[in-house]
Amino acid sequence: MDTRILKILIAAASLAYAVKLFVDGYWGAGIGMVLLTAVLVLVAMRSMRMIMVFLKMRQQNVADAQKWIDRISPNRLWKRQRGYYHFLKGSMMLEANYALAETELKLALSEGLKQDHDKAAVKLNLAAIAAMKKRPKIALILLAEAKRLDKKGVLKQDIRTIEQNIRNPRTQMRRRR
C-alpha cells in the first residue's frame, strides 16, 4: 500500500475526531486536534526526506544531502515533488557528471516546477552546461529564458557571470589555469 494514501487516511480520521470533539463541546481539545490535523496534512503532502534534502543543501552539506536523496524513490513522490527531486539531484551532479546533471535538470523541467525562480535556476544550470559543451547559441537562449523567469533578480549576478564566460571564452580558459 502506498504510504501517501495511509497518511491521508490518518489525517482524515484526525479531522473527523476533531469535528466530534467540537460537537461534544470539548473546544480546547478540538482546537488542539485541529492543529495536529494541520501537521498531519502537511506531512501527507510533503516528503520528509525531500525536506531534509532541502535543509542539508541550504546548509551546504552536500554529502548528507546526497545520502538523503538516495533514500528517496521518485515513484513515491507527488508529481510536482518529482520535479524538485530531479532539480536537486541534477544540482548535486553538476560538479561530478555534466551529462547526468543535464538529464536530471531536463527531467525537472518536464515534471514541472511551481516557482518561476526555480525554473530560472534550472535554465541557468543548463546554460552553464551548454557553455561547457561549447554550444554558445543554446546557452544564450537558455540564459535569456532564465532572465525572463528571474523576476526578482535573485540570479542576476550568476546570469551575468555565465554570459560573460560565453561571450568571452578566453577569460574562462585563464581561470582554469
Supply φ then ψ for residue 21, to 5 degrees. Answer: -65, -40
Rounded to whole angstroms, the Cα distance separating 165 from 124 reads: 13
120 touches 146 (CB < 8 A):
yes
Q: What per-residue confidence (pLDDT) applies to 174?
A: 45
Q: What per-residue confidence (pLDDT) applies to 1?
A: 54
Distances (CA, A) of 60 to 14, 47, 53, 57, 84: 37, 20, 10, 5, 17
Q: What per-residue confidence (pLDDT) applies to 170?
A: 58
Q: What per-residue confidence (pLDDT) applies to 173?
A: 42
Q: What per-residue confidence (pLDDT) applies to 36?
A: 93
Fold of 47-176: 1.25.40
Residues of the chain short of pLDDT 50, as ranges, are 172-177
Q: Which residue has the cell 507527488?
A: 78
Q: What per-residue confidence (pLDDT) applies to 53?
A: 87
Distances (CA, A) of 145 to 4, 41, 81, 159: 35, 35, 22, 11
Domain boundaries, the chain: 1-45, 47-176
Express each pLDDT in 26-76 by its tens digit: 999 999 999 999 998 887 777 788 888 888 888 988 888 889 888 888 888
Name the nearest CA neighbour of 117 among 87, 74, 82, 77: 87
Q: What per-residue confidence (pLDDT) applies to 25?
A: 92
